[in-house]
Chains A and B, each alone.
Chain A
Amino acid sequence: MFKRVSFPTLLVTWIAAIAMCLLAAIASARAQEGSRGRLAPGTQPLLRDSMPPGEIGAIQLLRKPELRGVWQAVELKGPEGMRLSMADAGQFTDDLAESRIAVMVGYVYRMRLTGLPYQEDSALYPTLEVIDRIHPPPEREHRFPIPIEIDEDDINEALRGGMVMRVVYLEDNEVAEPVETVGRPQRVLDLRPTQDALRTADQLGRPVAILRIGSRVPNVSEGQDWDNFLFGCPAWTTLKPIPTKQMLIDRGNLPATANTGSISDRR
């Protein structure tokens, strides 16, 4: 059964066997290393965009306890002439003069939009849910609000009876697209209805806020259902307007001949 083999043949065979064992061990180690960070196939995401308002925020507060009680500045922008009021203490406030407000992470805020373009009589009642925060330098939180932009497409679609869901995400600066954004509307990626907006936003960056537009007329006006419609009116506050350079000059805080160099005029 076994033939007597010469010593060189035996040596080569042994070296080959040991080398193959080593290669197999290295390959298995590399395979384990490679698959460590990947999700297993068929993994269901914990958060989906089909969840009702408030659920994602509640899960986020459970997952990240450091988000509890955190105020996050947001800035609401809309078409020319659009007026905004927030739900507060069981009713909608007067139209906000300043669109820069601070809301709490994890809660749902009901808003009322009036003065819609070409639809003066209509009103929309979107919800805003801030699901994560950003970390600006101390005392500069108001300078870096999360921009929540509502464009005419959103309004028209909502007035037609559609449901518009916008997930605002923080771009990953390493993979950001090298495009100019100053003075332009927020870049929007329109998804297919079968795609998960939250998951896509998570792939592109870090989702921070969800805006849902679709409820045109509240079907209740008082009682428990009305409180549910307003999501309990969580606390919010307005932020002081950031003075522009002209305002500072008018107040005398800035010399009129100030150098218009690289210093940002929004400090």
Chain B
Amino acid sequence: MNKKTRLSFWIRTAAVLGCFVGMLGCQSRPLAWFGKESIAARQRSLAQTPMALAKQESPRPLPPIVTTGGGSVSAMTAADSGNDPSKPGRVIQVQHTVPVGDPQGLDSFSVPRESMTMIAPPSYGPAMPSGPTVMPPRSQSTHSCPTCNAMQGGNYQPVFPHFRRETTACGVTASYGECVPCPTVESFAVPRQSDPQEYLFDGGDREPIVRVRKDDSLSGLDPEDTVIQYVTEDGKSNVESGCRVAIYAPRFASVRKKTSVIESGIAQRLQATTRPDGPGQFIEQLPSRNVTQPVKSIQRNDVRVVEAVRDRNLTTPAEMVLPMLEISDAFKPYEDLALIKRGDLRSTDPARLAKAIAAARAWSNVDELQVIVDGQEAIEVSSALNTQELRVYETKGARIRLCKVASEQMANPGDIISFTIRFDNVGEQPLRNLVITDSLTPRLEYVADSQKSSLDADFSSKPNVVGSEILRWELKSGIKPGDGGVIRFDCKVR
């Protein structure tokens, strides 16, 4: 290997290693780590370390309280530092000093020890009065909010906040450097729990998003989805979804397991007993050295025989060996069911649920028609879902609004719920070839011949993958800007 080849080898090796190090580094430290704000944040965080705080404070001789042969520990009590011991957040500083009797002097502590700062446990309540606190107030956050970080007097700032946007306990989202003051917390009541499994949802557009294929058919139409499909004046086919309603309708089922006690006639007996009655042999020729004294047994130990055993075994009757679970699995409608079971949807479901419940609650207090016209929630949802498409609509001038409401907020099995779909052309150009599609959840059954449409439409229904139906209205005429229509239909809760 000549010199050139060896150099080339090392360059290649270094490049590969550099590639790996770079990749690993990028996973943990994005470029924002080197930003000005991030550097300033790190400096501020370093300034809060006990060592930095100890440097900032003026040195003061501390009275030693314990002196042992090895060294001494001096303590600055709360009274010395001006803190009231009864107040929360008082400082108890314990500082190590050089051992007195150590002839080596400073050499025994090659590493300077940090002074330990202990914070007294906080008390929950109003903000602490001004006074010497552990954490000096920062310039960015002068408010004292007990919910930001109660353990440190309400001044909370993440160390490396660039990696995520922090949401404080009061729900205020703030990026680094701005600790938004939380609103006044009046009560610490536990929010009302809820479970999306207890609700029936209908409307909106779940993942995956509904798309229009080239042949005007829809892909990604899940159960619960309600979408409207239209063609703009320039021939572009679009699809939009509306709001989502939630109906409280829990349904219960049960699993049963039967176990029984069976009797078995297993009797356990002794196979043989040995009863030495007497010596079996006499040796007459020689005086016997060993005399075997035949001793009759005084007492006979009876071995009680187990006559019957009641054994608790698990029976497997033939009629119970039904692989119903596997059959039930076959009904699972979505491929992402595993994700649901793993809990990946848990983070999103409460948010969706809260929105749907809030919407349903708002609509329940006023008349139905009025709600549809003034459905502020629906407008927000529609525009928030399709922000990118909204830009297109502004230039093209085509936009549609779809809103769905239910007549009941809660239902038992057997109840009939009326749904109303309102669609409006809120854009600036007429729309044609409008098709409204509603895929029902498995627990909703369409009541035959209950649909009514304010506009002339061809209605059809076909089963969907979960055993319910896909309802489809194909409007025969287009709608002008500002016009709209209403569709009503009934469903029975299974």
Contact = CB atoms under 8 A, between A and B. Distances in A.
Nearest to A265: B415
Interface residues of B, number: 76
A175 B333 contact: yes
A127 to B, nearest CB: 15
B258 A135 contact: no
A251 interface: no
Contacts of A7: none
A160 B263 CA distance: 13
Closest 5 CB pairs of A and B: A178-B467, A37-B342, A182-B414, A193-B314, A162-B260
A235 interface: no
A166 B261 contact: no
A161 to B, nearest CB: 6
- Max chain B Cβ within 10 angstroms of own Cβ: one of A173, A197, A201: A173
B251 A163 contact: no
Contacts of A168: 252-254
A176 B251 contact: yes
A134 B414 contact: no
Nearest to B414: A182
B433 interface: no
Contacts of B201: 173
Contact of B199 (A2, A66, A173): A173
B417 A169 contact: no
Contacts of B8: 2
10 contacts: A37-B344, A38-B342, A135-B192, A136-B198, A137-B409, A165-B256, A175-B332, A177-B442, A182-B414, A193-B257
Interface in A119-161: 134-137, 140, 143-144, 146-147, 149, 154, 157, 160-161
Contacts, number: 225
Contacts of A203: 325, 341
Given A17-B16, A169-B253, 12 more contacts: A136-B250, A147-B252, A165-B256, A168-B254, A173-B198, A173-B200, A186-B252, A187-B254, A195-B257, A206-B197, A264-B415, A266-B415
Contacts of A97: none
Interface string A182-198: 11001111111111010
- Max chain A Cβ within 10 angstroms of own Cβ: one of B193, B223, B340, B409: B193
B255 A189 contact: yes
Contacts of B352: none
A247 interface: no
Contacts of B415: 262, 264, 266
Interface in A15-30: 17-18, 21-22, 25
B257 A49 contact: yes
A76 to B, nearest CB: 13
A178 B198 contact: no
Size bracket of the A interface: 35 or more
B252 A178 contact: no
Contacts of A55: none
Contact of A161 (B256, B261, B416): B261
A239 interface: no
A47 to B, nearest CB: 14
A168 B8 CA distance: 71
B1 interface: yes
Interface string B295-328: 0000000000000000000111001111011001
Contacts of A154: 256
Contacts of A170: 195, 197-198, 250-252
Contacts of A176: 251, 441-443, 494
B410 interface: yes
B254 A1 contact: no
B490 interface: yes
B23 A21 contact: yes
